[in-house]
Amino acid sequence: MTGAGLEGDPDVEITGVSAAETARRGDLVFLDGDGKAAPQISAETSALIVNEANIHNVPDGMPRLVSALARHYHGVVSYALFHPRHETWSGETLISPEASVHPTAIVSPGATVGPGASIGEGTVIGSNAVVGPGVQVGRHCRIGSGASLVCALLGDHVRLLAGARIGEPGFGVTAGPSGQEDVPHFGRVILQDRVTIGANSCIDRGMFDDTIIGERTKIDNLCQVAHNVVFGRGVVMAAFGGISGSVRVGDAARIGGRVGIADHVRIGEGVNLAASSGVFRDIEPGETWGGTPAKPLRQWMREVAWLQKHANAKKTT
């Protein structure tokens, strides 16, 4: 399938795919990039697809397939092993006979509930909403009209406003033989108790691990949260914000409108981010930052004041 050369035991059985640091026995992982930083590789990993630059990072004796397009071919193998159920879901009824819907739950006209899905006590599913196969929705939730949920687990008292998109794949792109290719996403979205997601906001599922939104977090309308992001408890995020992949946000952080956070950044507990901030580095707990690139608030305000003073300096004769 990959055209790659095999080095190691050809009889190893592959039963799953994952990221290198979280692999379990039977998993195939990939190593890509320039190979300068030593990656974390689980000792349980059964085999790797690796590019030439990373061969020296492969543990001794671990079977490997060597390819210049390691990430792409890992995706090819992934799709051969697994396929998301919601992509091939079909049926004659709007509510699958294989779904579990509590007698007190309300499924409004036009809403669909897939096989293996579960709707808890007192939950209301709005008109034309989609609850995909295997999705679990807790008790007393409110799912707005036209919202869609796939690859997701929802706790109790969760509110999704109209048009929210939960569990779509993230923006993962890699080079393939014919150009750019989408990479598969096999993780989930977990929305804990009393989370609110605003209208037309998107929470992407994880690539291999999960995207997690902590309890009582409130996300405004028209926000984007990418794959593998983890929000703590009680986070507040105002409209038009964008969170890149694998960001970690601590408990009780407050994110102003139009804030953008670069991938893999760590935001500490109780951090405040001023509106329109562009965050590119980690922020320690309790700090308040603003600006683009974002920096501590006092420093940012001094720089703005200095710029205004010199930009509007009075002419002298």
Catalytic residues: 227
Cα–Cα dist 280/264, whole Å: 9
Any idea what DSSP says for residue 183? P
Distance of CA 271 to the CA centre of its chain: 21
HSE-up (13 A, CA, CB side) for residue 304: 12
The most distant pair of C-alpha atoms in the chain lies apart, rounded to whole Å, by 86
Q: What angle do CA 219, 165, 277 make, to 5 degrees?
A: 40
Positive or negative: CA dihedral 70, 76, 81, 82: positive
Positive or negative: CA dihedral 61, 63, 68, 71: negative
Distance of CA 82 to the CA centre of its chain: 19
- Concatenating the DSSP letter of every residue in 4-25 gives PEEES-TT----EE--GGG--T
